Amino acid sequence: MELHVADHPLIDHKMTLLRDERTSSSMFRELVAELVNLLTYEATRSLRVVPHEIRTPVSAMTGVTVAAPLPLAVPIIRAGLGMLDGFLKLMPYCEVGFVGIRRNEETLQPETYAKRLPEDLADRQCFVLDPMLATGGSLAATVQFLLDAGATEVNAICLVAAPQGVELMRQRFPDANVRVLIAALDEGLNEHGFIVPGLGDAGDRLYGVVD
């Protein structure tokens, strides 16, 4: 597993607004979309393309187009859904699979309640979307689903991460072709498993409290 921390003043500025407890849900959703746009540029650096012949108004040329099979975007429901539109805006060439995972609040273990993925992901580049990498359980479970289905490369885009989550990903995927791009690496987790300083519960801030 390879970790990449985005280091950019515009991302840091938007992350500060996102973290601020006074930021409304509508502004939070807007900021998430903007941040995903910026991170997608970096996360797709290894996007596979093939030569593509076109004619400009002046001459023929060989450009590139996204290679088949098309990449797969996988938002982890719920909070990852808040990142999907921003991602698809830059990557409309994707198909989309869904994984629903919620963390058990007592054990902090991930519980999968939905999974709608192509059965065969051989040769597919996958892009997992989840704003939070806390203990790492949810992301590790999702990445394992994708690798088990034959994905050759998994890129995860997260907004905030705790060192514990990064470490779990390193332990679980020491050699696999897995990259994690984050906007910020925070201090750690509190006794409830929340990232500190973090941004609270991303799902609740996007969509409100459901339970």
Spatial neighbors of 18 by CB under 8 A, at least 6 apart, are 28, 31, 32, 35, 159, 199
**Residue entry with tokens 């650096």:** 45
In the bound state, the residue with its beta carbon closest to ligand PRP is: 203
**Which entry of 65, 107, 123, 148 is annotated as an active-site residue?**
107
123 is catalytic: no
CB 37 to ligand PRP: min, Å: 19
CB 154 to ligand PRP: min, Å: 16
**Which entry of 19, 78, 103, 124 is annotated as an active-site residue?**
103
Coil, strand or helix: which one is 205?
helix
Angle between helices 137-148 and 163-172 (to 10 degrees): 30
- Nearest CB to ligand PRP, comparing residues 63 and 96: 96
Neighbours of 170 (CB within 10 A): 15
103 is catalytic: yes
201 is catalytic: yes
Provide the binding-site residues for ligand PRP, judged by CB under 6 A: 76, 78-79, 101-103, 108, 110, 130-139, 165, 193, 201-203
Q: Using CA atoms, how far apart are residues 39 and 36, in angstroms rounded to an integer?
A: 5
* Token pair in block for residue 136: 């790492």
204 is catalytic: yes
CB 131 to ligand PRP: min, Å: 6
- What are the residue numbers of the active site? 103, 107, 201, 204
